[in-house]
């Protein structure tokens, strides 16, 4: 099945631009062009409606791209496994049993939930609200890799993290107290 590899999605001068390529054409050549449908939707209904469409396209697999905030969010959103291809369909199908699965959610409900949780995720990943991480009440993380963390007693040497990164760190440091300090 064919899909678009998305490198970036931007909003400029009341227009929506997508830098993408098709996955089944080699060599990959990314083009930036105006998404006329999304631009029309932006002008008629606003940015939230455009975000709903973009997020649903990532959820359904028509858009893919881990380098975008949308792709990263969908990867985390899908971990909940509440909304699946089997239990989410059109509004008129909610409550019916199709292919042995009861349809629990409509695409419209999915889009509303996607938008709300996307804004929550975006807030957690915001570089505006940064934190330093204190470990064992006396040390601060200065460098973090997949295998180790460098610590220092000096607060001024501490690395700055987003709240999403802090939550990930807390899951890795289970043997000692970890505290996020807003800066």
Q: Residue 77: its pLDDT value, please?
A: 80
∠ CA 146-55-91, nearest 5°, is 135
Q: Residue 111: its pLDDT value, please?
A: 83
pLDDT tens digits, 132-176: 888 888 888 888 887 788 888 888 888 888 877 888 788 777 788
pLDDT tens digits, 23-66: 888 888 898 999 999 999 999 999 888 998 988 888 888 888 87
pLDDT band per the 50, 70, 90 thresholds, residue 99: low
Q: Is the dihedral of CA 70, 72, 76, 79 positive or negative?
A: positive
Q: Residue 69: its pLDDT value, please?
A: 84
Domain boundaries, the chain: 4-124, 131-182
Q: Residue 14: its pLDDT value, please?
A: 92
Please give the mean pLDDT across all residues of the chain. Answer: 83
For the chain, percent of residues with pLDDT exceeding 70: 95
């Amino acid at each position: 099945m064919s899909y678009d590899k998305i490198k970036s999605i931007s909003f400029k001068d009341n227009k929506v631009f997508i830098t993408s390529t098709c996955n089944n054409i080699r060599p990959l050549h990314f083009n930036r062009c105006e998404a006329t449908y999304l631009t029309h939707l932006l002008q008629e209904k606003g940015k939230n409606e455009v975000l709903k469409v973009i997020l649903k396209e990532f959820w359904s697999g028509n858009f893919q791209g881990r380098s975008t905030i949308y792709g990263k969010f969908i990867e985390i959103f899908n971990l909940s496994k509440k909304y699946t291809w089997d239990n989410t369909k059109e509004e008129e199908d909610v409550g019916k049993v199709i292919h042995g699965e009861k349809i629990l959610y409509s695409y419209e409900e999915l889009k509303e939930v996607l938008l709300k949780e996307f804004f929550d995720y975006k807030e957690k990943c915001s570089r505006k609200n940064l934190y330093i991480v204190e470990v064992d009440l006396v040390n601060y993380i200065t460098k973090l890799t997949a295998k180790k963390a460098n610590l220092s007693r000096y607060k001024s040497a501490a690395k700055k993290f987003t709240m999403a990164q802090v939550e990930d760190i807390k899951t890795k440091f289970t043997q000692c107290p970890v505290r996020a300090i807003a800066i």
